[in-house]
Amino acid sequence: MKWEDEGVVLSVKPFGEKGYLVCLMTKDHGRVMGWLKSASTRIKAVLQPGIRVQAHWQARLEEQLGGWRLEPLGGSVAALFTKPLCLSALLSATALCEVMLPEREPHGSVYASLLALVKALGEDAWGRGYFDFECALLAAAGFRLHLSSCAVTGARENLFYVSPRSGKAVCQAEGALYHDKLLMFPSFLQEDRAPCPKDLLGGLDLTEYFIERYILPHGGYGLPAARARLKEDLRQRHR
């Protein structure tokens, strides 16, 4: 049993004396764990979360762990070490993929969103890319947010709230009477701009609400520490 695919490295962990457990988010095969035997110095130097690779997976049986042969496809996350907030976002995204996605279940939209985020990190628009990534992850896990128009009137302007039950946007006039029961709509979506740290915190509070209410109770896991660190880093930057 063997296949070839492109993927993004999620994590790399020592395994035994001569290898590593490498988890990838792949384009066509979803999240896949495999064993990389005796990685060369060149490969070990680039095997970091967020690196894009060409992956060759092989095992005797499909259900076995399987082994990797990995070829870097270029790119580097080294520049993010001087941009700690972007690095924090990358580690949060890769950790969320590991805990929220079943292994070997294809999710092309999540892969595309993760790849777009990796490419955007370091640019002004990275915050919007990160929010879009968490929305894609929510949809893959079974809960889709509907934030393009008001659920009551269909209007696309003056969106101000989000229903905590349906995940649908509600305009200000329709939601005013239920202000205390509704979630806040991310302002940067309405204004179509890159979010500042305060704006992105609001967006992450929104996605976190739905993850904790609708996804975590069925998954038997909690939000990863890297996700909490991203929020704390955003709070520090906002201050």
Do strands 146-150 and 67-72 pair parallel, antiparallel, or not at all (unpaired)? Answer: unpaired
Q: What is the mean pLDDT of the chain?
A: 92
Question: Model confidence over 176-222: pLDDT tens digits?
Answer: 999 999 999 999 998 888 999 999 999 999 999 999 998 887 777 88
Q: Is the pLDDT of residue 44 over 90?
A: no
Residue 166: both structure tokens together: 């349906």
Q: Which two tokens stand for residue 59?
A: 């095992």
Q: How far is it, in rounded angstroms, from Cα 162 to Cα 172?
A: 10
Distance CA 125, CA 15 (A): 37
For the chain, domains (ranges, CATH) are: 2-72 (2.40.50.140), 78-238 (1.20.1440.120)
Q: What is the pLDDT of residues 8-37, one digit of tens each?
A: 999 999 887 788 999 999 999 999 999 998
- φ, ψ of residue 73 to 5 degrees: the values are -105, 20
Q: What percent of the chain has pLDDT over 70?
A: 97
Least confident of 57-61, 71-75, 86-90, 164-168: 71-75
